Structure 1
Amino acid sequence: MTKRIDLVFRTIDERTSAIALDLAIQQIKPNRVHLIENVRPFSAAVQKMLQIDYDCDFVVFMDADCLILEDLSKFLQRNSFPYVDCYVLDKFRGHIHQGVHITRIDVVREMQKIEPPENDEKYVLRPESRLRSFALSNLKFKKHFKSFRILHDYFQAYHHVYAKLALRELRSRTAVNRSELEAALKYWDNYPDDLDFKIAKLAIQNTQQDVALEATPAEIDAYIQRLPEIAEAAIATLELPEQPELTYAMIDQQTRQVWPWQLVNLGGGSLQMPAEAQSSFKVFGIGLSRTGTKSLTSALHVLGFKMIHYPEDETTFRELAEGHYQFSLLQQFDGITDITVSAFYPQLDQLFPGSKFILTIRDREQWLDAMERHYANRPAFDLSDVPEQEIHMRIRRFLRSTVYGCYEFNRDRMAYVYDLHYRNTLDYFRDRPESLLVLNIGAGEGWQQLCPFLGCPMIEQPFPFIKKQTMLKSLLNDEARLMENPVLS
């Protein structure tokens, strides 16, 4: 049965608005389009989108600062997850999940029932996210994530850059978020001539001066409501060149720099990888859970490899149970990451000669702590009668028993499995260093190791660092232990 998809397109006259809407219609193929134009602040736009009388199966909520550069319609038709947060490539922060949100209609209906909370700083700063979080909690649903080729916050007008980064400063007032923002500031220093980065720095500096750390939610909300005027006034004091009208050719050029393998012909509806640029080998991320497999998946996506992380479909479960490691998914994807393939690298190596294997690692004690947290709210059995949840639980139990030898967290057993997997993998590939890359993303390894290994040009953007909050805390707390672990030395 064909799913009905509605598109909610929110714009505040972004420079990208016209082209972003055109691309969205091409790539999503919605049944209906709802425009929310020039509604400020964002909390008001969120309330307006929740007043719409939807008649569909899924709603794609997106902002006009997103340029969708691949066909989402096929994924939308096969998707059944209640909520999918889309990873995009943000000019200022690398790969983040922001700007495009795929939401099942039952979650939208639940969001419509929720009254906006008062004196709630999280709602003030992220109203859509806050209401959705309440809805998912009420329904006992979880988020899912998917990476697409989407540019976010490229080609924005100067005053919009200022307003966005001022808001980013307000959202970064925790220790971890502050560290992430400071890392971004250092990255921007590599591009001293980029006007967007100069404006971003000015916005952050001014906002730090204008809004005290101890500001109340009401004071922050009032500042956000004034941001458009504040941004216009700040930009007016600068001598900036006039920005030309945005064209598909300009986006095409940027797209080729980011994803050089993709031929685009933007505006003409042809957005596919040319045959000669497709991967001639498969790529498998064979690190254990919580070793940076999501970050690796996102990085491979940036490099042009069409990857899937921990697939949860019925066909994959059946093939795993039958020992059929050719995987039907590999007819459509360049590779698979996480424990779906971690235990089967010898078979995959035989079935797909010339493939590349990437073993993600981290400090073992950090990893054990992360696994204990990971297992805490992920039981091996669930009484849910939702079909996709049943398949998810079957795969979870199968892979836990296959890879770890236990359904629940057991520190001694998992420490043994971690060391054994590391030693066995290195031993298997000991005479073929060209086939295996050992990658410690948490220790700062990334493009410099990955690009040469895969024969790709070096990437000049931050390496995607998903789940960075947990990993950053671990790195700060356990730096000495990382240096002492003999397995990783």
Structure 2
Amino acid sequence: MAFQPYTPKPLTDIFTNDTDIDRRKCRRTVPMKVLALGLGRTGTASLRTALKELGFADTYHMMSASVENPPDCLMWQDAFAAKYDGIGTFEREQWDQLLGHCQAVCDWPAVAFAKELVEAYPEAKVILTTRDVDSWHASTTKTVDWRANDPELKFVAQWDWGAGLYQPMLKKFWDTFFKGDFKKYGKRVFNDYYAQVRSMVPPENLLEYRMGQGWEPLCEFLKVPVPEGKKFPHTNDTEGFVDRCKARNRAQMCNVAFRALVVGGGVVAAVLSASLTFHRLGARLAAFRT
């Protein structure tokens, strides 16, 4: 939903550690230096950690919206509405509001706006993380495609503040970017996307990077020294991704239950508890049938 108003985080959300910054009131405070435009699941979380180690603070990532500051999702929805639905505009001013605290940006949903970001920040260097398309598709199917269609996340989004901001944004991005069917169109979108980025960025301003190449090509491209005695980071593997998402769901369910106890009393809490139990039972029955 575009142009949804900002609402502050409930005081009863004690099981998650989200911030609640309204980016629409923010401005750019540091220069944008790096656009890391490789699709998610090509090592973007590791790259984020690496860029922070190299001094590019902060580096924006999907986790910035999903688990760090969920109100960011409001501006991402504004950006989707402007690009895909023809509603409103989203230009340099709005990018500076959303990303103004960052010197770098990577991962989805930013990749949906590769052209717009390159035009907004022509002085920024572009890094294109990549990997074999088949292994990428297999990894993404088990992680982000699963998360975008996670029935438990959809359920808790009806009740929890953070999930209610994040889930609609993720679903909008996923269905739009991958034409409504990741399994069918994912590989084609991958190949078309990488060809598009290569065509619009001058070769001297583009680094194609694969995980495993280490610090040297990255540091040479960014003109920064190689960190001494530090291994290149490796984070966000498939198993860890799923475990973290499930843990996030549980924490947000706890937020909802606690709010019901504080605000609505025991009756509301009992109804909510029964609803959660029924939902879990339904999910287990569905899994059993499959």
Range of TM-score over shorter length: 0.5 to 0.7
Change (3 A) 1:356 1:402: farther
Tell me the alpha carbon deviations over residues 313-368 of structure 1, each in whole angstroms, 9 at most, x when there is no partner: 24323332234153212221112211222132222122112112211111111111
Q: Is 1:371 matched up with 2:130?
A: no
- Aligned residue in 1 for 2:124: 355
Instruction: Give the aligned partner of residue 197 of structure 2.
Output: 425
* TM-superposed deviation, 1:279: 6.1
Q: Please state how far the C-alpha of 1:295 moved relative to its aligned partner.
A: 0.6
Structure 1 position 457, deviation (Å): 0.9
Displacement of 1:298 in angstroms is: 0.8
8 Å contact kept, 2:36–2:105: yes
Q: Scaled by the length of structure 2, what TM-score is found?
A: 0.61
1:319 corresponding residue in structure 2: 78
Identify the residue that residue 452 of structure 1 maps to in structure 2: 220
Deviation at 1:470, TM superposition (A): 6.3
Instruction: Work out which of the residue numbers 37, 40, 45 in structure 2 matches 1:286.
Output: 37
Residue 236 of structure 2 corresponds to residue 467 of structure 1: yes
Equivalent residues of 2:37, 2:110 under 8 A apart: yes
Q: Could you tell me which residue of structure 2 aligns to residue 100 of structure 1?
A: none
Instruction: Give 1:389 deviation, angstroms.
Output: 0.7
Task: Confirm or deny that 1:435 pairs with 2:194.
Answer: no
Structure 2: distance between partners of 1:387 and 1:57: 8
C-alpha distance in 2 between matches for 1:463 and 1:366: 21
Q: Are residues 1:400 and 2:169 paired?
A: no
1:378-437, CA deviations, whole angstroms, 9 ceiling, x for partnerless residues? Answer: 41661222122122111112211232112x541x411111111111111222xx223221
Aligned residues: 202
Q: Which has the higher strand share?
A: 1
Q: Distance in 2 between matches of 1:3 and 1:386?
A: 9
Q: How does 1:90-239 map to 2 (within 5 A)?
A: none
> In structure 2, how many angstroms separate the alpha carbons of the residues matched to 1:319 and 1:399?
12
Distance, in Å, in 1 between the alignment partners of 2:104 and 2:150 is 26
**2:59 aligns to what?**
307
Instruction: Give structure 2 stretches of 5+ with no counterpart.
Output: 1-7, 22-28, 66-71, 84-89, 241-290
Mind listing any 5+ residue stretches in structure 1 that lack a counterpart? 5-55, 61-74, 80-277, 472-489
Q: 1: CA distance between counterparts of 2:176 and 2:182?
A: 14
Measure how far apart 1:59 and its partner are.
Answer: 8.5
The root-mean-square deviation of aligned C-alpha atoms, in Å, is: 3.0
Cα contact 1:300–1:307 (8 A) shared by 2: yes
Report the CA distance shift for 1:59/1:469 in structure 2 as closer, same or farther (over 3 A).
closer
Q: Check 1:456–1:387 CA distance in 2 against 1; reply closer, same or farther (3 A cut).
A: same
When normalised by structure 1's length, the TM-score is: 0.37
Matches of 2:165 and 2:15, distance apart in 1: 24
SS at match of 2:207: strand
Match in the other structure for 1:295:
46
Q: Which structure shows the bigger proportion of residues in helix conformation?
A: 2
The residue type paired with residue 437 of structure 1 is L
SS at match of 1:339: coil
Partner Cα separation in structure 2 for residue 343 and residue 454 of structure 1? 24
Does residue 415 (structure 1) correspond to residue 187 (structure 2)? The answer is yes
Cα distance change, pair 351–362 in 1 and its aligned pair in 2 (3 A): same
Change (3 A) 1:59 1:299: same
Relative contact order, higher structure (CA 8 A, sep 6+) = 2
Aligned mates of 1:445, 1:388 — CA distance in 2? 36
Question: Per the alignment, do residues 415 and 76 of structure 1 end up closer, same or farther by CA in structure 2, a change over 3 Å counting?
Answer: closer
Q: Contact 1:380–1:397 (CA<8 Å) still a contact in 2?
A: no
- Which secondary structure state, in structure 2, belongs to the residue aligned with residue 437 of structure 1? strand
Larger radius of gyration: 1
Amino acid at match of 1:317: W
- The verdict on how the C-alpha distance between 1:282 and 1:380 changes in structure 2, with shifts beyond 3 A counting, is farther
Letter of the aligned partner of 2:198 in structure 1? Answer: L
